[in-house]
Structure 1
Amino acid sequence: MSELAARRAIEALRAGVPSRDAVAALGSGQSAIEDRFQALCEGVAGGAASGLLLGGGFGAGKSHLLEHLARMALDGGWTVSRVVISKETPLYDPAKVFRAAADSALRAGQARPAVIEAAMALDLDGRAYAELLRWAASSGSELNERFPATLALFAHLRERDAAFAETILRFWSGDPIAVPELRRRLKEIGEQRPVLPPVAAAELARQRLRFAARLLTAAGSPGWLVLFDEVELIGRYSLLQRARSYAELARWMRGEHGNGVPIASVFAMTDDFEAEVIRSRNDQDLVPTKLRAKDTPEATALAAAAQVGMRIIDREMHLLTPPDDVELKQAYDRLRELHGRAFGWQPPDVAGLERLGATRMRQYVRAWINEWDLLRLDPGFRPETEMVDVPSDYREDPDLERTDPE
């Protein structure tokens, strides 16, 4: 590793950011989860969409592990997206989640979002395009007529009308498309009575997800991996939005995207979420009770889906394993080498933190780096590091559900 790459890795680890250089330097240390992830990808590539839920405390390495899994998938040709749950991207909003996934979707060696790359790479005279069009137009795809219509138009206009072809690409990526203009364009290619029924925004987002995944595979990707980070933020939503978030988590984890849609998902959240939110707030009883009291088919269905999501969090979370002595020694030796290369010196041994089972990898790493920083500036100093845990904050925050008028 070059001096610049070593400096980037050290600075990322100092800040707790799972950069590519930092992850490449340390690896994951989570072999059991890697094995489950590989099995997940193999199953999804074979047509069985599903997900994986990871749990760990703050600083346990969840984001670091997600980046490591992303590199594994990219090396295998997969399309990979990172979605960080936030005020701007709430888990309960399928349209915003899809947009975040589409905007961040990449394949190894590509610069633009992968949905656009896939569309531009399609052989419009080839078998993959013909199969994609046949699937999009079939009742089994459960897609609105906008999708086969825009796919057919794209084949006619990609070389002839770059501006409208770009409009179609933006529609596939999450933007609206003007129905009158779409009807006019369809009539120009011989579709005299195009039927384009309305579709709700949330349902359209789910259809975009299915269509984009099939588009990506038509362009040669084995599947689409969507990584969700900081999922514990849903604990700060109101009860109704928590219910919708639980339901969305269940939809992704159970692969409810349609038959043969190659989408894999990995969720990462704090390991105390079930105890601090689902049980402490009694969500397992309050959520279905309040929803079913509405006495509507939609609320009843949401209650059932939310219960599935809560059971998944309770029973299917795979916990990150704490680092053992062997892993800690390897990480220490690697970081010592990196720090020396980054700053052009020979770092001495440092004590760091006492090796306890509850201490997290990020805490060890930060302590080592900080102590080397201090000794590099003052070789006579004798640093001692103390560790203070900051508890997770799951208090409801109404501001998280307010978004900009955009």
Structure 2
Amino acid sequence: MTSRDSGVDRPIVARRAIEALRAGVPNRDAVAALGSGQTAIEDRFQALCEDVAGGSAGGLLFGGGFGSGKSHLLEHLARLALDAGWTVSRVVISKETPLHDPAKVFRAAADSALRVGQARPAIIEASAGLDLDGRAYAELLRWAASSGSELNERFPATLALFAHIRERDAAYAETILRFWSGDPIAVPELRRRLWEIGEQRPALPPLAAPELARQRMRFAARLLAAAGSPGWLVFFDEVELIGRYSLLQRAKSYAELARWMRGDHGGRGVPIGAVFAITDDFEAEVISRRNDRDTVPAKLRARDTPEAAALATAAELGMRIIDRETHLLSPPDDVELKQAYNRLRGLHGQAFGWQPPDVAGLERLGATRMRQYVRAWINEWDLVRLYPGYRPETEVLDVPTDYREDPDLERAASD
């Protein structure tokens, strides 16, 4: 028999949390069990949300060592945002989703975008629930068609067409939704459809993929707001991977980070916010030791083109933001450690149906990270449960972060 509350199997929930913490991959159950002791960063996050809801896009960057709880904190902040009605996306920087590629970043953000209570990606859900006779839709259409939106004509044209065909032609309405979410759309067919409903045929000039992705991002943010969300928050994890790209790709990544942090999405009143998690030694190991601060802008400006000069300036800003605006995670104090220990002890007991005894864990030192404490407690309880007379002792070995350039990452990005 298991204890149940409103259909929730508590031992299974506890087991999911324990297994996630054991693997170092915080899921919803693990984050709910431990919470977060990073109150200063939470306060900054709340301020960011207020700014974004008011129409001022921007970002928050925090850093910590491997195992210090960066991913845990990202998940915690994301849950706070979801509970407050925000649309939330989670983007892990990887070979498949390099920070310097706006198109791939947008697609990852669009595919993972969710709101509480919605089963489908948020852009599709928002479009399906949009009141096409209401004020919010009219304001969205007026904004999309204005010069201030800085949007290609594809966006107001598809928005107007969507209102005519959502109930009449589900297949082409789905084509429009896929276009807003990152897929291409055939221009001749779009022009024909607009002509059929009496709309003038727009010019629909071509757009480069990065610029189209940026326009999709701000259009989608306004669409989500029109559907009732305060805005769109994108949470970026493992940002330190940019240190393993080539010099040019690092430059583009620094520039993209600066664009997100400064809310430079084009137009005004775009409700987008970004939260980045990065290792706390990135500035020392990559920007300073590899001398990106001087080498990156120098090599770009040596090309003597306006595009390279603009990229150099943006990359410099991105590196300066990493250097000066990274909010470091606070190491756990005795109070937080005691609370975490007691919560995990109860969780382990609930997961495996026993009464865990006290275990020694790790010596409480300032350099020891929360994940190390958590793993030590869980592993020692596991051993004692399986071998009741055993008294485990845990040792810690640090694995340094690898920032060496990896050509395979650049090839994957090109593909």
Q: When the two structures are superposed, what TM-score results if normalisation uses the length of structure 1?
A: 0.99
Q: Letter of the aligned partner of 1:306 in structure 2?
A: A
Partner of 1:256, secondary structure, is: coil
Q: Match for residue 171 of structure 1? A: 179
Partner of 2:81, secondary structure, is: helix
Unaligned runs of at least 5 residues, structure 2: 1-8
Deviation at 1:404, TM superposition (A): 8.1
Q: Match for residue 159 of structure 1? A: 167
Q: For 1:94 and 1:88, locate their aligned partners in 2 and report how far apart those are by CA, in whole Å.
A: 12
Describe the superposition over 1:116-152 as per-residue Cα deviations: whole angstroms up to 9, x where unpaired: 0000010000000000000000000000000000001
Q: For 1:405 and 1:169, locate their aligned partners in 2 and report how far apart those are by CA, in whole Å.
A: 26
Q: For 2:290 and 2:276, locate their aligned partners in 1 and report how far apart those are by CA, in whole Å.
A: 22
User: Which of 138, 144, 147 is the aligned partner of 1:136?
Assistant: 144
8 Å Cα contact 1:85-1:230 kept in structure 2: yes
What's the % identity of the aligned pairs? 85
Q: Match for residue 109 of structure 1? A: 117
Describe the superposition over 1:315-356 as per-residue Cα deviations: whole angstroms up to 9, x where unpaired: 000000000000000000000000000000000000000000
Q: Letter of the aligned partner of 2:239 in structure 1?
A: V
User: Which of 252, 255, 258 is the aligned partner of 1:244?
Assistant: 252
Partner of 1:91, secondary structure, is: coil
Describe the superposition over 1:33-71 as per-residue Cα deviations: whole angstroms up to 9, x where unpaired: 101100110011011111000100000000000000001
Structure 2 residue 126 is the aligned partner of structure 1 residue 121: no
Partner of 1:267, secondary structure, is: strand
Deviation at 1:195, TM superposition (A): 1.3
**Aligned ranges for residues 5-404 of structure 1 at < 5 Å?**
5-257=13-265, 258-403=267-412
Q: For 1:278 and 1:330, locate their aligned partners in 2 and report how far apart those are by CA, in whole Å.
A: 37
Q: Letter of the aligned partner of 1:334 in structure 2?
A: R
Q: Letter of the aligned partner of 1:375 in structure 2?
A: V
Q: Letter of the aligned partner of 1:74 in structure 2?
A: L
8 Å Cα contact 2:16-2:30 kept in structure 1: yes
Q: 1:4 to 1:114 in 2, by over 3 A?
A: same
Which contiguous aligned blocks of 4+ residues in structure 1 show a shift greater than 3 angstroms? none
Deviation at 1:405, TM superposition (A): 8.4
Deviation at 1:403, TM superposition (A): 2.6
Unaligned runs of at least 5 residues, structure 1: none
Q: For 1:391 and 1:16, locate their aligned partners in 2 and report how far apart those are by CA, in whole Å.
A: 16
8 Å Cα contact 1:94-1:202 kept in structure 2: yes
Q: For 2:139 and 2:353, locate their aligned partners in 1 and report how far apart those are by CA, in whole Å.
A: 57
Q: For 2:201 and 2:171, locate their aligned partners in 1 and report how far apart those are by CA, in whole Å.
A: 24
Q: For 2:117 and 2:367, locate their aligned partners in 1 and report how far apart those are by CA, in whole Å.
A: 39
Deviation at 1:193, TM superposition (A): 3.0
Describe the superposition over 1:186-238 as per-residue Cα deviations: whole angstroms up to 9, x where unpaired: 11111243211111100000000000000000000001000000000000000
8 Å Cα contact 2:65-2:281 kept in structure 1: yes
Moved more, 15-24 or 184-193: 184-193
How many residues were matched structurally? 406
8 Å Cα contact 2:101-2:210 kept in structure 1: yes
Q: Letter of the aligned partner of 2:60 in structure 1?
A: L
